[in-house]
Homo-oligomer: A and B are copies of this chain.
Amino acid sequence: MANKFEQFLAERKNVIEQQLSVYTERLNMPDSLKKSMLYSLEAGGKRLRPVVVLAILHAYGKSEKDGIPVGCAVEMIHTYSLIHDDLPCMDDDDLRRGKPTNHKVFGEATAVLAGDGLLTESFKLITSHVSEDVSADKRLRLVNELISAAGTEGMVGGQIADMEAESKSVSLEELESIHERKTAKLLAFSVMAGAILADAPENEIETLRAFSSHIGIGFQIRDDILDLEGNEEKIGKRVGSDTTNDKSTYPSLLSLDGAKNKLADHMKAAKDLISGLSLQKELLYDLCDLIAARDH
């Protein structure tokens, strides 16, 4: 049977990609900056984070309309982080999704500023581009959640912790703390944002936060496994780079089979958590299965 989330993703991807371009095109800025921002926004990618916002709204039986700007906001944050991570002073990557990285095409200075621009404008999608149906209080809450996920207590802090972990051996607990901040929190934002927009009960919002943490960590474990077992063409980057860089990963700490078991445990925990919630669960169960089995 087809994966329902995969179908949902395929149906919603286009509207997200169109709107990412529309929001950016409308801004009045120098052409070179706009081209650089659009290059990375339009470079493809799974669009998992924005579509998760829509999926939660859908699962609660609500209109997905306001999930579009909020989903685009989280995709802009994700895109800025990739541009900055690829810089020579960070991961020094020449390729991203099979294409030259932003700084390879536009130069480092423009890449830094394109990232800064995407980060800054992302918040405007929440403050100004959702409909009047979303109260000012709810917008502020969404902005606060996005700052927590993307800022020093989230992604930016996780990125520093990840860099520092490269030069030492880390425990499983430390590895989990790094990925919680670097990867899981931003995916969790998508889930939380969907639930907040759907006016989900507060206890369900908090349960969904715990659910997100499991799927976010699961997402990262799958990433580590793909680095060992994946197909280079499908994932669009070199396989085995973690091993070459002597980086601590779930497979290096737990063995490949141990990492696969850990991934299954997180996905089971995620599914168990939401079994009692009032939303349509099949879509989210299939999201768990998709994350656990994805090949890119």
* A residues adjacent to B (C-beta < 8 A): 27-30, 32-34, 37, 80, 84, 87, 89-90, 107-110, 112-113, 115-117, 119-121, 123-124, 127-128, 135-137, 139-140, 143-144, 147, 150-153, 156-157, 159-161, 163-164
Secondary structure call for the A interface: helix
Given contacts A137-B136, A160-B33, contact A128 B110 (CB under 8 A): no
Interface centre among A89, A110, A161, A164 (most CB of B within 10 A): A89
* Copies of this protein, total: 2
Interface centre among A37, A112, A121, A136 (most CB of B within 10 A): A112
Beta-carbon nearest neighbor of A24 in chain B: B152
- Contact call A144/B124, Cβ cutoff below 8 A: yes
Given contacts A89-B109, A136-B137, contact A117 B156 (CB under 8 A): yes
C-alpha gap A131/B219 in the complex (Å): 39
Q: A112 is contacted by which of B87, B135, B161 (Cβ under 8 Å)?
A: B87
C-alpha gap A108/B156 in the complex (Å): 14
Q: A140 is contacted by which of B107, B113, B120, B140 (Cβ under 8 Å)?
A: B140
A92 shortest CB reach to chain B, Å: 10
